[in-house]
Amino acid sequence: MATWTTDDIPDQRGRLAIVTGATGGLGLETALALAGAGAEVVLAGRNPLKGDRAERMIRDRHPHAEVRFGLADLADLASIAAFGDRLLADGRPIDILVNNAGVMALPRRETTADGFERQFGVNYLSHFALTGRLLPLLTAGRARVVQLSSMAHHGGRIRLDDLNHAHGYRPWPVYQQSKLAMLMFAVELQRRSDAHGWGLTSVAAHPGVANTDLMSNGPGGLTGFGARLFLPLLTHSAAAGALPSLMAATLPDATPGGYYGPQALGEWRGPPGPARVDPAARDPEVARRLWSESERLTGVRYG
């Protein structure tokens, strides 16, 4: 395949897309490209002021874009439920769901409104709950569901005995677990869709190393002279980092249960294509147990 860009996104007119964390960074770039291709896009986020700015930015670039902000705090299951209920009340089938929002390697253990360790809660459990609540609309639209993972999933471990890392919190292993969980979620959702006839195409993507606030604001963030010197060599832009998610969301023949990421420098940067999956992400027994525990923790059951 030739280098894939936003010009290769098929016409999305008449389709409804939901993108979490869409008021900045990768999520905003993903929403911008989908809106530019004609999709109606809901920008799911927790900050209405940032949502308003994101809407205006997208309309500045695409004056006829159908885009709106939807309040959804991914650190609060009640907010996720309220967001889902509003969409369910509208009754519009969903064609694309991009579960993009996330936090990275918080230096100290923090918790969500529901008491979950924040990285695991925001990056994974929130998206598990949101996808489950929206399942009737996703099945009605025979949707493409995209989970944002990371190269960090390699070496990650699902601590089934302590998913919320109540003991021995370390920022990076906890982040690795959350991103491994997202990739396992994509694979397991496809298995269950096939088994139950939900008609979904479940895929995952990772951005490589994109120069966004998520990276620069993390512990040991790349700042100062070293960052100015090396970032252009090692990373790519948020727009480039969004391409694997866009490929996963719109490629007509995307592989069910597949994984997409950059193709250069060991998947750090470059044009999008198939990415390498750690064998741990394909462990069906761990995936089954993680799914069961996720239903218990969130109170959201897929039927």
175 has catalytic annotation: yes
Residue 302 within any structural domain of the chain:
no
Report pLDDT for 231. 57
Distance, in Å, from the CA atom of 189 to the CA atom of 23, rounded to the nearest integer, reads 26
Whether 68 is in a domain gets the answer yes
Q: Is residue 2 part of a domain?
A: no
Q: How many angstroms separate the CA atoms of 265 and 267, rounded?
A: 5
Q: Which domain holds residue 109?
A: 13-295
Q: Which two tokens stand for residue 21?
A: 């964390």
Query: Could you list the pLDDT tens digit for every one of the 303 residues in the chain?
Result: 479 999 999 999 999 999 999 999 999 999 999 999 999 999 999 999 999 999 999 999 999 999 999 999 999 999 999 999 999 999 999 999 999 999 999 999 999 999 999 999 999 999 999 999 999 999 999 999 999 998 999 999 999 999 999 999 999 999 999 999 999 999 999 999 999 999 999 999 999 887 765 544 344 444 444 445 555 567 778 899 999 999 999 999 999 999 999 988 766 678 999 999 999 999 999 999 999 999 999 999 997
Beta bridge partners, 19, equal 43, 98
For residue 180, is it within any domain?
Answer: yes
CATH number at residue 47: 3.40.50.720
Task: State the first-to-last Cα distance of the chain, in angstroms, to the nearest integer.
Answer: 39
Looking at the domain assignment, is residue 90 inside a domain?
yes
Residue 136 is assigned to a structural domain of this protein: yes
What is the per-residue pLDDT for 212?
64
The helix or strand, by DSSP H or E, that contains position 27, with its residue range, turns out to be helix 25-36
Within 13 Å, how many C-alpha atoms sit on residue 270's CB side? 13
pLDDT of amino acid 208: 84
Nearest to 97 by CA among 150, 54, 146: 146
For residue 119, tell me if it sits in a domain. Answer: yes
> How many domains are contained in the chain?
1
95 and 15 in contact (C-beta within 8 Å)?
yes
Of the listed 124, 169, 175, 302, which one is catalytic? Answer: 175
Domain contains 8: no
CA distance 92 to 12: 15
